[in-house]
Amino acid sequence: MNRKKILITGGAGFIGSHVVRLFVTSYPNYDIYNLDALTYAGNLENLKDVEQASNYNFVKADITDASDLNKLFKLYNFDSVIHLAAESHVDRSIEDPLSFAKTNVLGTINLLESFKMYSDFKKGLFYHISTDEVYGTLGETGLFKENTSYDPNSPYAASKASSDHFVRAYGETYGLPFVISNCSNNYGSFQFPEKLIPLFINNIINLKPLPVYGDGNYTRDWLFVVDHAKAIDTVFHKAKIGETYNIGGHNEWKNIDLVKLLCSKMNKHLNRAAGESEKLITFVKDRPGHDLRYAIDASKIERELGWKPSLTFDSGLEKTIAWYLENETWLNHLTSGKYQEYYDGQYK
Q: Which residues are near ligand DAU by CB under 6 A?
A: 88-90, 131-133, 184-185, 195-196, 199, 211-213, 218, 220, 255, 287, 294
- For the bound state, the minimum distance from the C-beta of residue 89 to ligand NAD, rounded and expressed in Å, comes to 7
Separation of alpha carbons 266 and 270, rounded Å: 6
Q: Which of 152, 173, 166 is nearest to 83 (CA)?
A: 166
Is 164 a residue of the active site? no
342 in catalytic set: no
Q: Are strands 252-254 and 219-224 parallel, antiparallel or unpaired?
A: antiparallel
**Catalytic, out of 135, 156, 170, 245:** 156
Please list the alpha-helical segments (H only) found in the chain: 14-26, 66-76, 90-95, 97-100, 107-118, 155-174, 196-205, 225-238, 255-269, 299-300, 313-326, 328-334, 338-346
Strand pairing partners for 35? 9, 59
Count of residues touching ligand NAD (by CB under 6 A): 30
Report if residue 107 touches ligand NAD, rule: CB under 6 A: yes
Tell me which DSSP letter residue 296 carries. B
- Contact status: 186 vs ligand NAD (CB under 6 A): yes
Residues whose CB falls within 8 Å of the CB of residue 314, separated by 6 or more in sequence, listed in order: none
Q: Nearest to residue 187, comparing CAs of 278, 100, 272, 251?
A: 251
Beta carbon of residue 256, minimum distance to ligand DAU (angstroms, whole number): 9
| Binding residue (CB under 6 A) for ligand NAD from 81, 138, 161, 183 | 183
Binding partner at 164 among ligand NAD, ligand DAU, none, C-beta below 5 to 8 Å by kind: none
Stretches 33-41, 231-239, 287-295, 297-305: which one binds ligand NAD (CB under 6 A)? Answer: 33-41
User: Residue 201's binding partner, choosing from ligand NAD, ligand DAU, none, with beta-carbon cut-off 5 to 8 A by kind?
Assistant: none
CB 229 within 8 A of CB 22: yes
Please report whether residue 103 would count as binding ligand NAD according to CB under 6 A: yes
145: three-class secondary structure by DSSP: coil
Angle separating helix axes 107-118 and 66-76, nearest 10 degrees: 30
Q: Which is nearer to ligand DAU, 55 or 346 (CB)?
A: 346
Residues 36, 62, 79, 133: which is the catalytic one?
Answer: 133
Integer Cα distance of 100 and 277 in angstroms: 35
Residue 193 CB, nearest approach to ligand DAU (Å): 9
Catalytic status, residue 324: no
Query: In this complex, which beta carbon is closest to ligand NAD, that of residue 42 or of residue 124?
Result: 42
Distance, CA of 15 to CA of 13 (rounded, Å) = 6
Q: Select the residue interacting with ligand NAD from 93, 119, 185, 219 (CB under 6 A).
A: 185
Q: Which residues bind ligand NAD (CB under 6 A)?
A: 9-10, 12-16, 36-39, 41-42, 62-64, 84-88, 103, 107, 129, 131, 160, 183, 185-186, 192
Residues forming the active site:
132-133, 156
